[in-house]
């Protein structure tokens, strides 16, 4: 597995990042550990999680994913780059979520306990909280880094204009700067090519996109004529409606049909094609790949090893999915 520079920092990370939001609900602990083992065997040493994971479980299961990852990391923490996130609701009180200084400082301590470590390499805001001044959140993140509890900070699910303002505020106040952005990005969701990705290239911000397989739709395994299979992201707890709203539409299925033929002509699986396309964007640092079984990682690992897509194939994919550059980024 090749390693790549993490934005403008001196850090280098594996070209793929393992996403863990399936751990603890869609995958039990034994299965989760098997996925972690397979990722490590494939050379992935960059792991992303969040305090609200597993996906689909709500507050009743929040934190379980971090516990599973933390238990697996015992005795080998120094061998991995570890990222986690806060902002989501972790308790019944109004201050148990959001970007307030109180919540961020409480949340990092709780994550470190669950992860069994005294620091994370990357601490990220999982979303934007319009009820908290951005300066307050940035100041709290600065405290987290300067206290040694995180090495770098990042944001996820922030639009370009909010990140641009945050960058300016960090410079003005001499705070630790934003090192990375975690946006949704795949062949069926390309809205961030219009502003966010070019801005990250210009500012030297690492991009670690999630959903490179569109929740699994880009594997080609789903059938539009039947309901989403149990156990998939399209039928998983309180996350099901979000994923169906994003991708479970006739237009997306028609695109998948065309991409299936393109993948066959190129001699690769649909999943390898989809991840290779994400990797081919020069703004992208390391796509976050998820799995519900160890074998699901093989196609993504193949994408990381095969190198750049041929220019003509990339152009063909761009043309076939160009309509999704115009999709509302909030969808």
- Higher per-residue pLDDT: 231 or 81: 81
Q: Report yes or no: 172 and 198 within 8 Å, Cβ to Cβ.
A: no
Listed by start position, the domains of the chain span 3-325
Largest CA distance in the chain: 55
Q: Report yes or no: 155 and 199 within 8 Å, Cβ to Cβ.
A: no
Among residues 53, 80, 123, 243, the one annotated as catalytic is 53
The mean per-residue pLDDT over the stretch 250-276 comes to: 93
Q: What is the pTM of this model?
A: 0.94
Does pLDDT of 331 surpass 60? no
Q: How far is CA 38 from CA 155, 290, 301, in A?
A: 28, 12, 10
Q: Report yes or no: 54 and 64 within 8 Å, Cβ to Cβ.
A: yes
- In DSSP terms, 225 is beta-bridged to none
Q: What is the mean pLDDT of the chain?
A: 93
Q: Would you state the pLDDT for residue 24?
A: 94
Closest among 238, 231, 232 to 219, alpha carbons compared: 232
The helix/strand/coil state of 158 is: coil
- In DSSP terms, 47 is beta-bridged to 18, 82
Say which residues have a Cβ less than 8 Å from residue 242's Cβ, sequence separation at least 6.
none
104 band by pLDDT with thresholds 50, 70 and 90: very high
Does pLDDT of 34 surpass 70? yes
Tell me how far apart the alpha carbons of residues 44 and 56 are, in angstroms, rounded to a whole number.
Answer: 25
Q: Report yes or no: 123 and 149 within 8 Å, Cβ to Cβ.
A: yes
Q: What are phi and psi of 208, to 5 degrees?
A: -120, 80
* Residue 185 is a catalytic residue: no
Q: Would you state the pLDDT for residue 60?
A: 87
Does pLDDT of 98 surpass 90? yes
Q: Would you state the pLDDT for residue 329?
A: 63
* pLDDT single digits (tens) 112-161: 999 999 999 999 999 999 999 999 999 999 999 999 999 999 999 999 99
* pLDDT single digits (tens) 197-255: 999 999 999 999 999 998 888 988 877 777 777 767 776 777 777 777 777 678 888 98
Q: Report yes or no: 123 and 150 within 8 Å, Cβ to Cβ.
A: yes
Q: Would you state the pLDDT for residue 56?
A: 80
Closest among 228, 225, 163 to 192, alpha carbons compared: 163
Buried b (16+ CB within 10 A) or exposed e, 175-203: bbbbbbbbbbbbbbbbbbbeebbebbeee
Q: What is the second-level CATH architecture of the domain 3-325?
A: Alpha-Beta Barrel (3.20)
Count, residues in the chain: 331
E-assigned strand segments in the chain: 3-5, 12-14, 17-19, 46-48, 81-86, 120-125, 150-156, 178-182, 206-207, 288-289
The mean per-residue pLDDT over the stretch 46-64 comes to: 92
Tell me how far apart the alpha carbons of residues 285 and 9 are, in angstroms, rounded to a whole number.
Answer: 12
Q: Would you state the pLDDT for residue 224?
A: 76
Q: How far is CA 244 from CA 110, 236, 258, in A?
A: 32, 10, 20
Buried b (16+ CB within 10 A) or exposed e, 251-287: ebbebbeebbeebeebebbbbbbbbbbbbbbebbbbb
The helix/strand/coil state of 267 is: coil
């Amino acid at each position: 597995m090749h390693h790549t520079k993490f934005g403008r920092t001196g850090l280098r990370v594996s070209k793929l990042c393992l996403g863990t939001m399936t751990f603890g609900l869609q995958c039990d602990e034994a299965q989760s550990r098997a996925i972690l083992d397979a990722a490590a065997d494939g050379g992935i040493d960059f792991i992303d999680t969040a305090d609200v994971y597993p996906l689909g479980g709500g507050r009743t299961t929040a934190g379980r994913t971090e516990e599973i990852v933390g238990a697996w990391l015992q005795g080998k923490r120094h061998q991995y780059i570890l990222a986690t996130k806060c902002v989501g609701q972790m308790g019944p009180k109004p201050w148990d979520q959001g970007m307030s200084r109180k919540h961020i400082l409480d949340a990092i301590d709780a994550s470190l306990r669950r992860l069994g470590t005294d620091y994370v390499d990357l601490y990220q805001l999982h979303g934007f909280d319009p009820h908290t001044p951005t300066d307050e959140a940035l100041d709290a993140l600065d405290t987290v880094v300067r206290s040694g509890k995180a090495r770098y900070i990042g944001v996820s699910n922030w639009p370009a204009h909010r990140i641009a303002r945050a960058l300016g505020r960090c410079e003005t106040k001499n705070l630790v700067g934003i090192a990375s952005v975690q946006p949704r990005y795949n062949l069926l969701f390309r809205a961030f090519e219009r502003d966010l990705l070019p801005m990250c290239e210009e500012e030297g911000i690492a991009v670690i996109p999630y959903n490179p397989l569109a929740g699994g739709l880009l594997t080609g395994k789903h059938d539009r004529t039947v309901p989403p299979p149990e156990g998939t992201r399209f039928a998983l707890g309180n996350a099901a409606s979000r994923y169906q709203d994003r991708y479970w539409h006739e237009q997306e299925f028609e695109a998948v049909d065309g991409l299936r033929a393109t993948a066959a002509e190129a001699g690769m699986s649909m999943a390898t094609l989809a991840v290779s396309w994400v990797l081919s964007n020069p703004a992208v640092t390391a796509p976050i790949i998820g799995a519900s079984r160890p074998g699901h990682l093989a196609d993504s690992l193949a994408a990381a090893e095969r190198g750049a897509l041929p220019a003509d194939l990339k152009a063909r994919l761009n043309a076939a999915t160009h309509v999704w550059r115009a999709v509302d980024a909030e969808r």
